[in-house]
Structure 1
Amino acid sequence: MASSSSSSSGSAEPWIIDAHTHVLPERLARKIRAFFNAVIADAEGSEVASEAAPASVASASEDVAADAAAPPPHACCPPAAAFDAEYADADAFPSPGRLVYPYHESDPKLLAQSLRDAGIKGSWILPYAHKAGVAAPLNDAILSVCTALRSHGQSPIAGLTAHPDDGADAVGAYTRRAIAAGARVAKLHCSVGEYSVLHPGLAPFWETVAAARVPVVVHAGSHVSGNTASPEMRDIEEVARRYPEARVVIAHSGSPAVKAALEVARRCGNVYLDTTPTVTRLPLFPPPGHPSHAFTLQLARAGRILFGSDVPNVAMRLEEQMAGVVRLFGSDADRAALDAGRDWTELGVSERGEGDALGEVFGRAARRLVAGVRVERKAGL
């Protein structure tokens, strides 16, 4: 497999933006990986690899490729019947089977190399707070993580997070401080943090990010596994309507409630989706040929679907994810090229004009959102 999208475009540097990564401080990253493994094992009875691949540069590791379980049925491009039914909560996250994580949980050098080998130029570094007292120091630590990634050839975008149990005053203060220090994206993980996006303690957060137009990746949900149920999309819609200048990105496109997430995006022009997998499979988007596929493609062309990988806590290799995204949002010719054995990096995605679905998903939309942040309009700063 080609090592970089630059091989087809003639550019000296890779081109893709990954709008959903969790490169975190080492101690926290290890705890999250251990917790993640425990949840998966308990929920599914899956056998989970305890260590990341020794090579860590997953795109070059034949051992990982041979060891990893085969993709579950419809991991990349499901049949129409699957989208119509939606996966039941028990089936949506995680996929059963032996899980092998191709990526090191925290090493900036190794993770930067993995991203770069997949053609990823920059990544949104998204922290998340699971309890009170964590957000402010984590926001500070992410700046150091970004410095380390930058030293290894990445162009990271620092993220910030918040937790409503810190209290409204504290949430407002450290949100403003993080943006002043350079954060340009944000992440709320309602499932892990056990809160709603409508929690009163988050009001200063929403006021600040809306005024500054900082895009916010929101993982809605109330189950420890991270599942999002259709009713939880109502809170996303309410916050999007309450703060019309906010840019709300639904993490994992609300998996398994992708149909509900698409409807929220249909009704709210400030709502975006991302392609981030749930461990072993992409979100259950309507496949080509399905009546809802045309609207999904319309969202992609409008720059409202972003590529996200969930590196490092994902069992789908980056290259596999990208090929799946091409099958979902590419043209018939793109899919035929993949079927004929061509690598997706040979399709010249970076050379396509504005409004091309793949060009938007793989980077233009994410760059546009970050470029639209208005630091001078941060509330109260």
Structure 2
Amino acid sequence: MTAAPRTDEEVPGWVRDLGLPGLADIHVHFMPDRVLRKVWAFFDGAEEYYGRPWPITYRTDERTRLATLRALGLRAVPALSYPHRPGMAEWLNDWSAGFARRVPDVVHCATLYPEPGAGDYVRRALAEGARLVKTHVQVGGFAPDDPLLDDAWAALAEAGTPVVMHAGSGPRPGAFTGPGPVRRLLEAHPGLVLVVAHLGMPEYHAFADLAEEFDRVHLDTTMVGTDFTEAFAPLPEGFRERLAGLREKVVLGSDFPNIPYPYAHQLEALARLDLGEEWLRAVLWDNGARLLGLPAR
């Protein structure tokens, strides 16, 4: 196999050598500028919160970030955002719809929060064309099985729209993080197409259990296996073998632009798992393309 990329400039050639049309990354963030600036300000203080610095590698303007992703080979650009308080989700959904109308290769995304009317605005977002949803249990400070979200989850399960959910307790636990609340959600809505962000770190095995048990549960690779993450949430013993068995359910994720290393390092980290070219092809394109509605290779 061609050596894994060490720089972003090496990524397109490596992807072509794998026989792939591009990358299907399901975990990319675009937000209103003032929201993104607040996110970056939070990461600027990460050493106090997380105990280690978290520099933003791609702290550039919107146009440059889009150009960077296209140059890397993304054939569709998710624009994930998430609220941290009531009354914010619907406004973010309106912005996301406008962003997708303005930029043709952007995936129309939506989000939600446990509040009255959540089901209504999720159904409206779906009717307007939303194809991907993001939730962040730790930042939002809510239980994924909150009854106020029942109607929204039912609508998403019926539509088959993928939901990228940060529910693991890394890099810092929250009141509602961990596999328990997610299991209860899936038992109530087994048809939900759920993508567990960061492979559920650090509860890797417990979230892999859910992916094995529920047909429509997937895991995304965001930040996993990188030198940065291995320092505080390393993949546990025996997990590499589980990832091999879950090949059809593991999806590329990056967390671009909010990552403390070059995008290429995420791909290098996946390659050094040494699970073979077919595993990489499934993870880098096939599985994400299926969820995002992109052509098969």
- TM-score where L is the length of structure 2: 0.85
| Cα distance between partner residues in 2 of 1:156 and 1:247 | 20
| Cα distance between partner residues in 2 of 1:163 and 1:210 | 16
SS state of the match for residue 277, structure 1?
Answer: coil
Q: Tell me by how many angstroms 1:6 deviates.
A: 5.3
Gap regions ≥5 residues in structure 2: 1-6
1:26-175 aligned within 5 A: 26-38=33-45, 40-45=46-51, 96=52, 98-104=53-59, 107-150=61-104, 155-164=105-114, 166-167=115-116, 170-175=117-122
| Cα distance between partner residues in 1 of 2:142 and 2:177 | 15
Assess if the C-alpha contact under 8 Å between 1:135 and 1:161 holds in 2: yes
| Cα distance between partner residues in 2 of 1:241 and 1:231 | 17
- After superposition, the C-alpha distances for 1:172-191 in whole angstroms (9 at most, x for unaligned) are 11101111112101111111
| Cα distance between partner residues in 2 of 1:326 and 1:221 | 23
| Cα distance between partner residues in 2 of 1:158 and 1:37 | 29
Q: Does 1:195 align with 2:142?
A: yes
Structure 1 residues 147 and 238: CA distance shift in structure 2, 3 A = same
Assess if the C-alpha contact under 8 Å between 1:229 and 1:256 holds in 2: no
SS state of the match for residue 246, structure 1?
Answer: coil
Assess if the C-alpha contact under 8 Å between 1:275 and 1:305 holds in 2: yes
Gap regions ≥5 residues in structure 1: 46-95, 332-348, 350-355, 373-381
- TM-score where L is the length of structure 1: 0.67
Q: Tell me by how many angstroms 1:147 deviates.
A: 4.0
Structure 1 residues 9 and 222: CA distance shift in structure 2, 3 A = closer
Q: Does 1:18 align with 2:25?
A: yes
SS state of the match for residue 24, structure 2?
Answer: strand
1:1-381 aligned within 5 A: 1=7, 2-5=9-12, 9=16, 15-38=22-45, 40-45=46-51, 96=52, 98-104=53-59, 107-150=61-104, 155-164=105-114, 166-167=115-116, 170-220=117-167, 226-227=172-173, 232-277=178-223, 280-281=228-229, 284-286=234-236, 291-300=238-247, 302=248, 304-328=249-273, 330-331=275-276, 356-371=278-293
Assess if the C-alpha contact under 8 Å between 1:251 and 1:276 holds in 2: yes
Structure 1 residues 229 and 367: CA distance shift in structure 2, 3 A = farther
Assess if the C-alpha contact under 8 Å between 1:329 and 1:357 holds in 2: no
| Cα distance between partner residues in 2 of 1:230 and 1:162 | 16
| Cα distance between partner residues in 1 of 2:238 and 2:42 | 39
SS state of the match for residue 148, structure 2?
Answer: helix
Assess if the C-alpha contact under 8 Å between 2:15 and 2:22 holds in 1: no
- AA aligned opposite 1:177: R
Structure 1 residues 21 and 227: CA distance shift in structure 2, 3 A = farther
| Cα distance between partner residues in 2 of 1:284 and 1:228 | 19
Aligned to 2:4: none
Structure 1 residues 291 and 36: CA distance shift in structure 2, 3 A = closer
Assess if the C-alpha contact under 8 Å between 2:198 and 2:222 holds in 1: yes
| Cα distance between partner residues in 1 of 2:11 and 2:59 | 20
Q: Tell me by how many angstroms 1:120 deviates.
A: 2.1
Structure 1 residues 211 and 35: CA distance shift in structure 2, 3 A = same
Assess if the C-alpha contact under 8 Å between 2:44 and 2:54 holds in 1: no
Percent pairwise identity: 28
Assess if the C-alpha contact under 8 Å between 2:138 and 2:167 holds in 1: yes
| Cα distance between partner residues in 1 of 2:144 and 2:293 | 25
- AA aligned opposite 1:178: A
| Cα distance between partner residues in 1 of 2:280 and 2:173 | 27
Assess if the C-alpha contact under 8 Å between 2:137 and 2:176 holds in 1: no
Structure 1 residues 146 and 6: CA distance shift in structure 2, 3 A = farther
Assess if the C-alpha contact under 8 Å between 1:22 and 1:127 holds in 2: yes
- After superposition, the C-alpha distances for 1:12-44 in whole angstroms (9 at most, x for unaligned) are x96101110111111111011112323x13224
| Cα distance between partner residues in 1 of 2:261 and 2:14 | 23
Q: Tell me by how many angstroms 1:228 deviates.
A: 6.7
| Cα distance between partner residues in 2 of 1:218 and 1:256 | 14
